[in-house]
Structure 1
Amino acid sequence: MTIERARVLLSRWQQAAVARGSAVGALVNPRRADLIAALVETTGKPAFEMVLERMKKSPEGRAILLERPRVVSEQVSHAWDLPDNTFGAAYAKFMGSRNFSPDDRPPVRFMETNELAYVATRAREVHDLWHTLFGLPTNLIGESALKVIEFEQMYLPMCMLSVIGGTVRFNEKQRSMFLRHYLPWAVRAGRQCTDLMCVYYERHFSEDLE
């Protein structure tokens, strides 16, 4: 489905209602990716607007906005054929080892403009590329650490809420490990690395990951 066809225009009160309903539903069932996605979209407009402005000021970001690449099977399947030492191959291995598909992400529905909808889509679709780059697993600790990086990069409220929710579900050993090691590392990584939303990842698939 194209970004334009997926969009649903909501009034302010409708956005608030969707945000409240999604928040309650996500708390009850954190595995509901569609509810989490809706909450991100209905609470993340200011953050996505800031990301959009940063992308417009970056040569690579502007290229992304102009060409609108998608991290979907149709466009990234060549990564599975790249040499083992490349970024693309590492991404393919990450996805294949977990039986993930680039097409699994729910579409963005509740952004006001096509441009913002694309930025939100891009942020959603590069998530697994960031897992690959930072070497983070998809368990609760790994996802929470990546959410910290995402928050430092984009200031999305839902990222911090996800971290708080994750720490609540940690056992004592996991919580101690996360707070002592993963959290400070993720904060530094998110603040010190390049602007991740301004990287045209597909152009770097054939590069050596090291």
Structure 2
Amino acid sequence: MAIPNPPPPPPPPQTVCLKATLRSRRTLAWKWKTESQSLETKDYQTMIGGGKIRLNRWQQAAVAVGSAVGALLDPRRADLIAALGETTGKPAFERVLERMKKSPEGRAVLLERPRVISAQVGHAWDLPANTFGAAYARFMGSRNFSPDDRPPVRFMETEELAYVAMRAREVHDFWHTLFALPTNLIGESALKVIEFEQMHLPMCLMSVVGGTARFTEKQRKLFFQHYFPWAIRAGMQSTDLMCVYYEKHFQEDLEDVRRKWGITTAPAVPNQNVP
């Protein structure tokens, strides 16, 4: 008796990566909004705390030191920066969690647990140009960024803290959009100052120290004369940004939400040809 041939393997899921080869807005938006079904249905535990690793204090210290050294050597290692934030930031995340519980909008975020992933924010491409959502989509699209590229949370002890840590990680690009900060070394360092003022995460302070150590003399002068004092004021004067349900404000005018949340945009400085 002849043995039938096995059925062909199923096709691989569509990729969600916004490849650097994409250039047109239409193609980029389509790729952003047509992610694979596997991402939409991926188990919550897999995306937040699914690979949870329990560490004792000595192990936490070792991971923190190793991550700090690795991140200084290669600031592009988002996984090391994330590990540093988690292993040194538990008290700060606990305080953020308590503040969110006391805020009506923060409680809604904790209850519904929105994710900043393509499946949930891809509609921002279709919003009017003046809206916060459209500004965020332009920010991401112009840089070929994907909201799905954030590393998972691994070192938080509870699911609630894991979500807060992931939320802090995922709203980072919302803050770039709102404060009109670039993604170069100066812009990232300035945003870390704001994040420290908002959340008091040790990782943010260490990132500023590490980032400024890599500045050229011209960059250092520009940062400390213009961006650093502005970032301190901006972080202190704005509302508690971890308690904002950003996705529910996508359709609002960008300048309106900036005023509502007390946000002042990055200073306009003379063009000094600083990268």
Tell me the alpha carbon deviations over residues 158-201 of structure 1, each in whole angstroms, 9 at most, x when there is no partner.
10111111111111111111101100000000000000000000
**Cα RMSD (Å) of the superposition?**
0.9
* TM-score of the two chains, using structure 2 as the length reference: 0.75
Q: What does residue 3 of structure 1 align with?
A: 48
Q: Do the aligned residues in 1 keep the contact of 2:125 with 2:133 (CA within 8 Å)? A: yes
Supply the distance in 1 between the matched residues of 2:125 and 2:220 (Cα, whole angstroms).
36
- Structure 2: which amino acid aligns with 1:49? E
Supply the distance in 2 between the matched residues of 1:181 and 1:20 (Cα, whole angstroms).
31
Displacement of 1:6 in angstroms is 3.0
**Structure 2 spans left out of the alignment, 5+ residues:** 1-45, 256-275
Whether 1:112 aligns to 2:157 is yes
Whether 1:80 aligns to 2:125 is yes
Give the counterpart of 1:16 among 40, 51, 61. Answer: 61
- Structure 2: which amino acid aligns with 1:152? E
Supply the distance in 1 between the matched residues of 2:49 and 2:214 (Cα, whole angstroms).
37
Of structures 1 and 2, the one scoring higher in RCO (CA 8 A, sep 6+) is 1
- Structure 2: which amino acid aligns with 1:149? I
Tell me the alpha carbon deviations over residues 139-166 of structure 1, each in whole angstroms, 9 at most, x when there is no partner.
0110010000000000001101111111
Q: What does residue 164 of structure 1 align with?
A: 209
Supply the distance in 1 between the matched residues of 2:186 and 2:47 (Cα, whole angstroms).
33
**Structure 1 spans left out of the alignment, 5+ residues:** none
Tell me the alpha carbon deviations over residues 81-138 of structure 1, each in whole angstroms, 9 at most, x when there is no partner.
1111100000000000000000011011101110000000000000000000000000
Q: Do the aligned residues in 1 keep the contact of 2:115 with 2:167 (CA within 8 Å)? A: yes
- Total equivalences in the alignment: 210
Whether 1:91 aligns to 2:136 is yes
Structure with bigger helix share is 1
Q: What does residue 143 of structure 1 align with?
A: 188
Highest CA radius of gyration, 1 or 2? Answer: 2
Supply the distance in 2 between the matched residues of 1:60 and 1:22 (Cα, whole angstroms).
33
* TM-score of the two chains, using structure 1 as the length reference: 0.98
Displacement of 1:51 in angstroms is 0.4
Out of 125-134 and 10-19, give the one that drifted further: 10-19
Out of 182-191 and 168-177, give the one that drifted further: 168-177
Whether 1:103 aligns to 2:148 is yes
Give the counterpart of 2:99 among 50, 54, 69. Answer: 54
Q: Do the aligned residues in 1 keep the contact of 2:132 with 2:249 (CA within 8 Å)? A: yes
